[in-house]
A and B are shown apart, each in its own frame.
Chain A
Amino acid sequence: MENFLLKNIENPDSADIEEYLKIGGYKNIAKAFELEPKAIIEEVKKAGLRGRGGAGFPTAMKWSFAAADPKFPKYLLCNADEGEPGTFKDRPILEKNPHLLIEGMVISGYALGAEYGYIYLRGEYPHAKDVLNKAISQAYEKNYLGDNILGKSIKFHLAVHQGAGAYICGEETALIESLEGKRGQPRTRPPFPVNVGAWAMPTVVNNVETLCNIPYIISIGSEAYSQIGSKDCPGPKLYCVSGCVEKPGVYELPMGTSLKDIIFNHAGGIKGGKKLKAVIPGGISTPVLPESMIDCPMDFSSMPKHGSMLGSGAVIVMDESVCMVKVTYRALKFFEHESCGKCTPCREGTEWLRKSLGRIERGEGREGDIELLQEISENIMGKTFCPLGDGAAGVVLGMLKHFKGEFEEKIKAKGSRV
């Protein structure tokens, strides 16, 4: 399969609009404008595009809800708050292919009736901010953004909104709060953002990668698009592989490529020829899989059947030398740090888990600690305001499921194995 999302990124000037135009960029706007907005939504629906942020919600359905809401103005927000540890899939687009994103947003805005867009960019990507700002001003100059795009009475304005270091803002309602200048805590749903979103107006929040798939669908048509990869969630997918592999990096592959294939064929296998121990397949919030379970298609519907989730497609590979207790502890330190504090189980539970794991990790584990970790996790799971807490509990439960022995050993040995 030829790269679409990562097309031309080897070109050092790929972020420049002239380079983008050279490879046929922005042509899909004109093509899309020939269609009625509804027809575009229909195309996206037929293409079967599902949101690439992690939840896998059908994009066209989200759009149609917002489009059907009679309130104006509507807003299109691009979620570029790529904070899930292990995830760096959107980064090449943001830094090297910004015009693809802009093109995708212009078409999407037109389809759902949004005339204003914001790219919510994580604060940790300062370079991407400069690239995007430059790209946006170039697009304005060339009339791909503005009041009369391509001379038609179609309007779309775009700006970058920089986050400031809060993982939770990747959750769409927290992202909206943050865009509105507030503490980034998730909102009660319903009402959903598609009806009451940014500034109380209908709002669609789409991931960077999702929006970049739109020009592709317009370009090759829904029919051809739906043939790529897994049947019920087709299209190209960006997998980012890190950890103990020979060739870490972002790979654009058909959705549903097997985890094993990704690690061993594309990412060059385990670093230094060591033995694979475990894989976190979709970013740190997804349950770990032991080496024996990696022969599974990486897509939204298959992964739950194999005991984990696709998440953001961030594959973290761990070889035999990695201590799973330590990984769990580090993960929980992350969740504790990023818990927004709004709901009790997440705020208190992640802290309790981290403190207990830290104790075990330091060699101060006690009998009954494993049962305690299990119960705290169960008391969090399913009871939190947003999925952050579930993610934290899921990590511990997953680790205990597959690597309980390592925890027991550590509690007995009173010290780290590695």
Chain B
Amino acid sequence: MITITINGKEIKLEKPVTVLEAARANGIKIPALCAHEQLEKYGGCRLCLVEVEKMPRLQTSCTLTVADGMVIKTESENITKARRGVLEFLLINHPLDCPVCDKAGECELQDLVSKYGASAGRFKEEKRKTPESHEDRILARNMERCILCTRCVRMCKDVQGASALTIVERGGKSRMEPFSRESFNCEYCGNCHTVCPVGAILARPNIHNYRPWQIDREVETVCPYCGVGCSFILQVRDESIKRTIPKLGLGLNNGLLCSRGRWGYDFANNPERLKYPLIRKNGKLEQSSWDEALGLIVNKLQTIKNTQGGKAIAGIASPRCTNEDNYVFQKFLRTACQTNNIDSVSRLGFASAQRYFEDILGQGITANMIAGLKNSDVIIVLGGDPTAVNPILGLSVRAAARNGAKIVVIGNAKGLERFKTLKVTPPVFKEADVLEAVLSEIAKVKGPRGEKPAIDKRINELAGKYRTPEISGFNELKELLLSGKSVSIVLGTDIVQRTNGHKALFAVAGITYLLEARLYLLSERANEQGLIDMGCLPDALPGGRPLNINDFRKRFETSWGSSIPSDNGLTLMEIVDASRDKKIKALYVMGENPAFNIPNNPYVKEALSALEFLVVQDIFLTETAEIAHVVLPALSWSEKDGTYTNLERRIQRLRKAVNAPSGMEDWKIISEVSNRMGCKMQYRGTEEIIDEIADISPLYKGLTYDEITKGNCLWPYKGEPLRGVISEIPAAPEKSDDYKGDFYLVPEKLLFHSGTLSRRSSSLNRICPEPSLKIGEGHAQRLGLKDGDNVKIHASDGNLSIKISTDRYIKDNLVFISNNFEGRGVFSLLRYSLDPVTKAPGLEGCEIKIEKA
């Protein structure tokens, strides 16, 4: 225990903190412009000077660590004089343009000057001049206002890990600068902007369009983009979102955001939003009334159900919709429509992988706290770049590296290039072989563990037939994994999308099991976990209860007052196939765009066009909505209440911030249809839905919004996880796959986009306006190509003209295109065949040729 005295008040401290921290924790204010809770101490601004007994000079409280018996004064005549002196120095080159500065009203310098008094204007010399820069796509830089506190630089380097900012030159010539307009490594997170105390870094979307004091309301909610589920404050004015503000201490992102979370909100303000229901008449979608549209849906679904049975109806749920929406959706399909044909695009990766892992390792195996990553000593990253897919989780991997953890990347993860200890590049699409070999090597040292006999048995079988792969770094990889005392595995879904993806998944499961590792599954969409938990699966009810076990089903039937079909339904790809084969007649799509988001777009479009009846409820007229028979306008995430469950299985509250001029909550539309079909759903609000979920789902037992708001809703909640694992590991015959292409096209997960929503965000489009083909620098050189050249690519299923961007970190002959741009997404070129075990689509048709356009 350390005892110090500040301004005559005795303060006891558990551990040695800085004087500034000690003072602030005890409500004593000390001005400081360079110090920031999230950043390393700096001691540059010199405002936090205090007097310490027995020390001759004034001390900077932000750098001085308390010592027992220290006697500190934070205010005195001498201190005030010193602080005024420092403020005067800061102001001599600072423009006095507060009236036109967008920071006014929330500027830390302005506040301090009003506290300590403006200086007398004794500076008669010329001020330094630097014109405001709008060269950046999203941020404006005003170096005349900059006070060189370097918070932005430290944030970018030490927390974000992008190192895109630096101070150039020195002394009075110092200024913060991006390396250059085109070649810096900016990740557009805007975290520099968050910590800037003055108006030196401004968000271009907010320049001159309001003042901080003109905000109508601030609402705390969760980000709509990825499965991390960052918290932020939405600032609203005139029923339009003005800003997203992260806050220290709020949510697991604790003051940080990524580019999508920071800038992507403006899709909700997009004027192209659907405003009224549409009905296809004479081949064209035309405006209709809600009553007419709902009447048509009810009529069609009733008819098909009565004539063909519920099996002719299917539904696609949405990982962008809330738990409440998804719960109501599957209940509607199972009861009113009498079908279990329910799935989502989560089948493409997250849902398939999680189901596989849970089957063999137990429910909740992927429920690990993101914060725990920082405590790992070895982290294996494979199947995707966490800094792009789940950026805030990616920051934890970087933080772990800074703490000394060894980061092993298998495949490509550009965002970790400067943080990795080892990168292993498996032969194209042969990750499974490498992983099986690693598993076998680990088993030699560690196994069998004896806890799960089925896994031990399969590992043993594998050990008999593996070969050490001829790739560099294999032994190092093995040694690193074995050296770990706290191993984490971060798995992206790229390797799930292989025709034999389950093989790699088993190897990952085996490594997880033998090393007792923590497994993190990257999740591209906000509520993938939630929709699984809500039972939007063809074979499971809410809480992950298998549908085909009578006891479970009975419970739900009793509660819902309706029978539920007992056979498992079709998975996503099977629904598409069945649509084409006219076995499914009616498809109800809630908040999803399968015609674009599923590989082989032309085929999917053709299949969906064959449907007798397609309903889409969404907020935009998507590719799928364009071919629908009825389109209903739903509400955006910012316009409704509810909950999301993130990838670590944390349940979080979404709060309505904006009153939408039109549209209806998804759950409300579904309830209305259900009611009209005779299955009563009379929820007056989402709270009643969560009450029902808490009542019926064994997993979410006893949940309330109050509990969720308190942040207590982490796995395994108060519920009952499903116990037990399967006794036989599912297997499939080996597929021989020999690849002979020049290049292999695979989907890229972009940091700046995530598909349907992001492409309606003008800010994100400003940051990343068009697709590109990412290719290794060496390969490009060999083809005589340089960054920015146009190429034509030939795939077996089509051609595409596209610009290339070269990447010096890509060494293998994989090339990447994202699936974010209308008509030019990678899924328009690739086919798939189902992985027999996970039913995820294994991508095919990846072998391509590239020629200079």
Contact check, B89 vs A356: say whether CB atoms are below 8 A apart.
no
Residues of A within 8 A of B174 (CB): 341, 347
Output the residue of B88, B170, B174 with the most chain A CB within 10 A: B170
Asked if A345 is at the interface (CB within 8 A of a chain B CB), the reply is yes
> In angstroms, how far is the closest chain A Cβ from the Cβ of B623?
51
Residues of B within 8 A of A342 (CB): 42, 44, 148
Instruction: Name the CB-closest residue of B to A349.
Output: B89
Asked if A180 is at the interface (CB within 8 A of a chain B CB), the reply is no
CA of A183 to CA of B167, assembled, Å: 9
Asked if B86 is at the interface (CB within 8 A of a chain A CB), the reply is yes
Contact check, A345 vs B122: say whether CB atoms are below 8 A apart.
no
Asked if B93 is at the interface (CB within 8 A of a chain A CB), the reply is yes
Residues of B within 8 A of A337 (CB): 171
Asked if A308 is at the interface (CB within 8 A of a chain B CB), the reply is no
Residues of A within 8 A of B173 (CB): 341
Contact check, A345 vs B125: say whether CB atoms are below 8 A apart.
no
Contact check, B82 vs A379: say whether CB atoms are below 8 A apart.
yes
- Which among B42, B57, B90, B170 is the interface contact of A340 at CB below 8 angstroms? B170
Contact check, B148 vs A352: say whether CB atoms are below 8 A apart.
no
Contact check, B85 vs A348: say whether CB atoms are below 8 A apart.
no
Asked if A343 is at the interface (CB within 8 A of a chain B CB), the reply is yes
CA of A348 to CA of B169, assembled, Å: 15
Instruction: Name the CB-closest residue of A to B43.
Output: A188
Residues of B within 8 A of A366 (CB): 124
Instruction: Name the CB-closest residue of B to A190.
Output: B65
Residues of B within 8 A of A341 (CB): 148, 167, 169-174
Residues of B within 8 A of A359 (CB): 125
- Which among A188, A336, A345, A384 is the interface contact of B171 at CB below 8 angstroms? A336
Asked if B275 is at the interface (CB within 8 A of a chain A CB), the reply is no
Asked if B45 is at the interface (CB within 8 A of a chain A CB), the reply is yes
Instruction: Name the CB-closest residue of B to A369.
Output: B124
Contact check, A340 vs B45: say whether CB atoms are below 8 A apart.
no
Asked if B147 is at the interface (CB within 8 A of a chain A CB), the reply is yes
Contact check, A385 vs B43: say whether CB atoms are below 8 A apart.
yes
Asked if A166 is at the interface (CB within 8 A of a chain B CB), the reply is yes
- Which among B47, B85, B125, B171 is the interface contact of A355 at CB below 8 angstroms? B125
Contact check, B57 vs A343: say whether CB atoms are below 8 A apart.
no
Main secondary structure of the interface of B (DSSP, over half): loop
Asked if B116 is at the interface (CB within 8 A of a chain A CB), the reply is no
CA of A351 to CA of B88, assembled, Å: 13
* A385 with B46, Cβ < 8 A, contacts A352-B123, A379-B88, A379-B89 known: yes
* A344 with B147, Cβ < 8 A, contacts A372-B122, A384-B46 known: yes
**Number of contacting residues on A, CB 8 A?**
31
Residues of A within 8 A of B65 (CB): 190
Contact check, B49 vs A383: say whether CB atoms are below 8 A apart.
yes
Asked if B63 is at the interface (CB within 8 A of a chain A CB), the reply is yes
Contact check, B170 vs A166: say whether CB atoms are below 8 A apart.
yes
* A347 with B57, Cβ < 8 A, contacts A342-B44, A385-B46 known: no
Contact check, B44 vs A385: say whether CB atoms are below 8 A apart.
yes
- Which among B57, B90, B170 is the interface contact of A348 at CB below 8 angstroms? B90
* A345 with B148, Cβ < 8 A, contacts A336-B171, A383-B49, A384-B46 known: no
Asked if A14 is at the interface (CB within 8 A of a chain B CB), the reply is no
Asked if A291 is at the interface (CB within 8 A of a chain B CB), the reply is no
- Which among A166, A183, A190, A383 is the interface contact of B86 at CB below 8 angstroms? A383
Residues of B within 8 A of A350 (CB): 171-172
CA of A378 to CA of B86, assembled, Å: 11
Asked if B41 is at the interface (CB within 8 A of a chain A CB), the reply is yes
> In angstroms, how far is the closest chain A Cβ from the Cβ of B803?
35
* A383 with B46, Cβ < 8 A, contacts A345-B85, A345-B89 known: yes
Asked if A338 is at the interface (CB within 8 A of a chain B CB), the reply is yes
Contact check, A340 vs B171: say whether CB atoms are below 8 A apart.
yes
Number of contacts between A and B (CB, 8 Å)? 90
Asked if A382 is at the interface (CB within 8 A of a chain B CB), the reply is yes
Contact check, A347 vs B82: say whether CB atoms are below 8 A apart.
no
Residues of B within 8 A of A203 (CB): none
Residues of B within 8 A of A344 (CB): 44-47, 86, 89-90, 147-148
Instruction: Name the CB-closest residue of B to A338.
Output: B171
Contact check, A339 vs B44: say whether CB atoms are below 8 A apart.
no
> In angstroms, how far is the closest chain B Cβ from the Cβ of A2?
41
Residues 129-173 of chain B: 1 if any A CB is under 8 Å from the residue's CB, otherwise 0? 000000000000000000110000000000000000001011111
Residues of B within 8 A of A188 (CB): 41-43, 63
CA of A340 to CA of B148, assembled, Å: 11
CA of A347 to CA of B169, assembled, Å: 12
Asked if B92 is at the interface (CB within 8 A of a chain A CB), the reply is yes
> In angstroms, how far is the closest chain B Cβ from the Cβ of A383?
5
Residues of A within 8 A of B148 (CB): 341-342, 344, 347
Contact check, B170 vs A345: say whether CB atoms are below 8 A apart.
no
Interface positions, chain B 168-190, Cβ under 8 Å from A, are 169-174
CA of A28 to CA of B126, assembled, Å: 59
CA of A339 to CA of B89, assembled, Å: 14
Residues of B within 8 A of A385 (CB): 43-44, 46
Asked if B58 is at the interface (CB within 8 A of a chain A CB), the reply is yes
> In angstroms, how far is the closest chain B Cβ from the Cβ of A136?
30
Instruction: Name the CB-closest residue of B to A348.
Output: B89
* A343 with B171, Cβ < 8 A, contacts A348-B92, A379-B85, A383-B85 known: no
Instruction: Name the CB-closest residue of B to A358.
Output: B125
* A183 with B46, Cβ < 8 A, contacts A344-B147, A345-B89 known: no
Contact check, B46 vs A345: say whether CB atoms are below 8 A apart.
yes
CA of A190 to CA of B171, assembled, Å: 24
Residues 29-66 of chain B: 1 if any A CB is under 8 Å from the residue's CB, otherwise 0? 00000000000011111110100000001100001010
Interface positions, chain A 23-65, Cβ under 8 Å from B, are none
> In angstroms, how far is the closest chain B Cβ from the Cβ of A396?
15
Residues of B within 8 A of A345 (CB): 46, 85-86, 89
> In angstroms, how far is the closest chain A Cβ from the Cβ of B307?
75
Residues of A within 8 A of B45 (CB): 343-344
Contact check, A343 vs B43: say whether CB atoms are below 8 A apart.
yes
Instruction: Name the CB-closest residue of A to B149.
Output: A344
Residues 324-346 of chain A: 1 if any B CB is under 8 Å from the residue's CB, otherwise 0? 00000000000011111111110
CA of A351 to CA of B171, assembled, Å: 9
CA of A385 to CA of B34, assembled, Å: 13
CA of A345 to CA of B45, assembled, Å: 8
> In angstroms, how far is the closest chain A Cβ from the Cβ of B20?
13
> In angstroms, how far is the closest chain B Cβ from the Cβ of A123?
15
CA of A166 to CA of B41, assembled, Å: 23
Interface residues of B (CB under 8 A from A): 41-47, 49, 57-58, 63, 65, 82, 85-86, 88-90, 92-93, 122-126, 147-148, 167, 169-174
Q: 14 A-B Cβ contacts within 8 A?
A: A188-B63, A336-B171, A336-B172, A340-B170, A341-B167, A343-B45, A344-B44, A348-B93, A348-B172, A355-B125, A356-B125, A366-B124, A382-B57, A383-B58
4 new A-B contacts, CB < 8 A, other than A348-B90, A383-B57, A383-B86, are A341-B173, A345-B86, A348-B93, A352-B125
- Return the 7 tightest CB-CB contacts between A and B, nearest first: A379-B85, A341-B174, A348-B89, A339-B171, A355-B125, A351-B172, A341-B171
